[in-house]
Structure 1
């Protein structure tokens, strides 16, 4: 959730930015926006999970990961943006309209080095687009995502093999209960790596849980926080 003086943001955009044109914005599920953009790719091209940065206010920027790249048009990309939060990134995304232009900061894609061959991908709604990019067209991985209750049915219909956990009042609590039940039921048997994304404090709890129950070792777990309690939201 980077912040910087407005003048530095303008300089970064001038030196590193590229123009993205909004091709369309839809709400495929409650609490999520599908944002389709057209932008010249950086060296090496666009890739699913590619990290992009947008200046959503003069002093604040937000990062999103590419969910899809059009196989027939190398300059067309898609994002899945969660809108449950009320922060500046959510406001920016909700105000996007087809035909509008925005500046994208992006370099050459550097993929995460992930452990294991059958991974647990776990997170909250802010991570769903990234998780889908990591697991699309790949079998054997286990996905669990804490999402707004109103979105569970539609998401389960779209991704029937994923586990969608209705979020409670506090972030991570519902997922922590799901994780305990999944370990007891043997759902995580055979998992040899994990990627945990989303709420910082929840990720630490889930990581500790996996270690305490001896599901995985420390080196087999990768965490990447997107937001944190006590800091300005997405």
Structure 2
């Protein structure tokens, strides 16, 4: 089974590891030159045995890509890999994938927690400058704020839904990108569809984690 898995994985080397916030590590991988990536997509990193863990891509250029991984106190295989990885270490991962990518819209709404900031940063940098954006991110601490383009509304946890309910948006729907904790994502989608009258097709949801869920560690 592991040989079959290796057949589908891209091989790279860790070139650098640094911090973009006190709890967010940037892991630069070099080697692959033929990757196709759309901003907002993620890769699934082989972290041991047959385990794969998903990490959003912060930036990509020929021969290199940057992952930004939030450190958390868990002891799962993904948390251990991200905490212990060092320059020079070989890494295998799947090709970029995922539906959380920019779409055409009169404006863009990005809502999530600190785990969504990496994908949101890539999306925001790819959007046309003339198209309005509204970004709302929930964090535990102000030090968790990433450097993101445009105006970002930062709210302390738990304040995501309350912050969204008071956010002044245009009357017509745009496209919403919702990511982070699974139950919070469901609540945001329900608010947009039920309270604001958005069509469900205008809300793109990507749950990144949920308490106690194996595989999201």
Which TM bucket (shorter chain)? 0.7 to 0.9
Q: 2:191 aligns with which of 202, 206, 209?
A: 209
Q: SS of the residue aligned with 1:56?
A: strand
Task: Label 1:158 to 1:208 Cα distance change in 2 as closer, same or farther (>3 A).
Answer: closer
TM-score normalized by the length of structure 1: 0.79
Greater per-residue strand proportion: 2
Aligned residues: 212
TM-score normalized by the length of structure 2: 0.84
Residues 21 and 99, structure 1, Cα contact 8 Å, conserved in 2: yes
Task: Label 1:111 to 1:196 Cα distance change in 2 as closer, same or farther (>3 A).
Answer: closer
- Would you say 1:77 and 2:59 are equivalent positions? no
Inter-partner Cα distance in structure 1 for 2:45 and 2:202? 31
Q: 1:62 aligns with which of 53, 57, 69?
A: 53
Residues 30 and 150, structure 1, Cα contact 8 Å, conserved in 2: no
User: 1:153-197 deviations in whole A, cap 9, x for unaligned?
Assistant: x53x66562122222xxxxx3201211222xxx245565110111
Deviation at 1:78, TM superposition (A): 0.8
Residues 25 and 36, structure 1, Cα contact 8 Å, conserved in 2: yes
Which residue is 2:182 aligned to?
Answer: 200
Inter-partner Cα distance in structure 1 for 2:170 and 2:72? 28
Q: CA RMSD in A?
A: 2.6
Q: SS of the residue aligned with 1:178?
A: helix
- Would you say 1:24 and 2:16 are equivalent positions? yes
Deviation at 1:45, TM superposition (A): 3.2
Deviation at 1:217, TM superposition (A): 2.0
Residues 207 and 221, structure 1, Cα contact 8 Å, conserved in 2: yes
What does residue range 79-158 of structure 1 map to in structure 2 within 5 Å?
Answer: 79-84=67-72, 86=74, 87-106=76-95, 112=101, 114=103, 116-138=105-127, 139=129, 140-152=132-144, 155=146
Q: Which moved more, 1:58-67 or 1:94-103?
A: 58-67
Inter-partner Cα distance in structure 2 for 1:65 and 1:113? 14
Unaligned runs of 5+ in 2: none
- Would you say 1:176 and 2:153 are equivalent positions? no
Task: Label 1:100 to 1:227 Cα distance change in 2 as closer, same or farther (>3 A).
Answer: same
Which residue is 1:4 aligned to?
Answer: none
Greater per-residue helix proportion: 1
Residues 173 and 202, structure 2, Cα contact 8 Å, conserved in 1: no
Unaligned runs of 5+ in 1: 1-7, 168-172
Which residue is 2:151 aligned to?
Answer: 161
Inter-partner Cα distance in structure 2 for 1:158 and 1:96? 25
Inter-partner Cα distance in structure 2 for 1:142 and 1:206? 14
Which residue is 1:49 aligned to?
Answer: 40
Inter-partner Cα distance in structure 1 for 2:204 and 2:98? 18
